[in-house]
């Protein structure tokens, strides 16, 4: 594994995100919704930096194979506070194809959110497939398999304080 973004780089990216959120919302109350599980570290670090009144919750998005060959994204918002009439900040660890972010934004709109602002720690611009862009991305990264700071490989490495890249020989086929 090699380090793509150091712990200090990540901290500075989260600080830039906090500044963006404060500039965007001022002192207005917001509801912050983190996408599970990857955004847990980002969510915790970000809310410590914000001063406005906030409610915090999480949403989970899972892909399931349907009867066709295309997978279907299912959004579970059981742990999300009521967003009806609220200003929402949707927070995710990584923007890859954009399908997850787009599905969750649509889900929150159907739940009655007044406005939805999106922020991601990492963006892989070359992988984008969906017609959506995050309102804020702390870092643009190359199309590599990244781990750490909430991102995992086989449910491991989320606890790393930096963003690392797994090389081909790190991506084993068995356990």
CA–centroid distance for 45 within its chain: 13
Q: Which of 137, 63, 65 is nearest to 104 (CA)?
A: 63
Catalytic residue among 82, 96, 155, 170: 96
Q: Residue 121: which H helix or E strand, with range? A: strand 115-123
Q: Identify the band that residue 75 occupies on the pLDDT scale cut at 50, 70 and 90.
A: confident
What CATH code would you report for 7-63+73-142? Answer: 3.40.50.2020
What tens digit of pLDDT does each residue of 89-136 get?
999 999 999 999 999 999 999 999 999 999 999 999 898 899 999 999
Active site residue 170: no
Quote the pLDDT of residue 175: 44
């Amino acid at each position: 594994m090699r380090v793509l973004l150091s712990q200090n780089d990540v901290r500075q990216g989260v600080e830039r995100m906090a500044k963006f959120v404060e500039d965007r919302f001022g002192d207005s109350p917001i509801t912050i919704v983190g996408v599970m599980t990857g955004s847990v570290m980002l969510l915790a670090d970000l809310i410590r930096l914000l001063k406005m009144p906030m409610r915090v919750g999480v949403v989970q998005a899972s892909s399931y194979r349907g009867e066709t060959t295309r997978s279907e994204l299912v959004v579970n918002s059981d742990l999300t506070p009521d967003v009806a009439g609220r200003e929402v900040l949707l927070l995710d660890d990584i923007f890859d194809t954009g399908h997850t972010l787009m599905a969750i934004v649509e889900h929150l709109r159907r739940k009655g959110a007044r406005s939805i602002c999106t922020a991601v720690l990492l963006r892989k611009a070359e992988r984008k497939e969906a017609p959506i862009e995050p309102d804020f991305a702390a870092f643009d990264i190359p199309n590599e398999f990244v781990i750490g700071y909430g991102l995992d490989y086989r449910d491991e490495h989320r606890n790393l304080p930096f963003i690392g890249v797994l090389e081909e020989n790190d991506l084993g086929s068995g356990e």
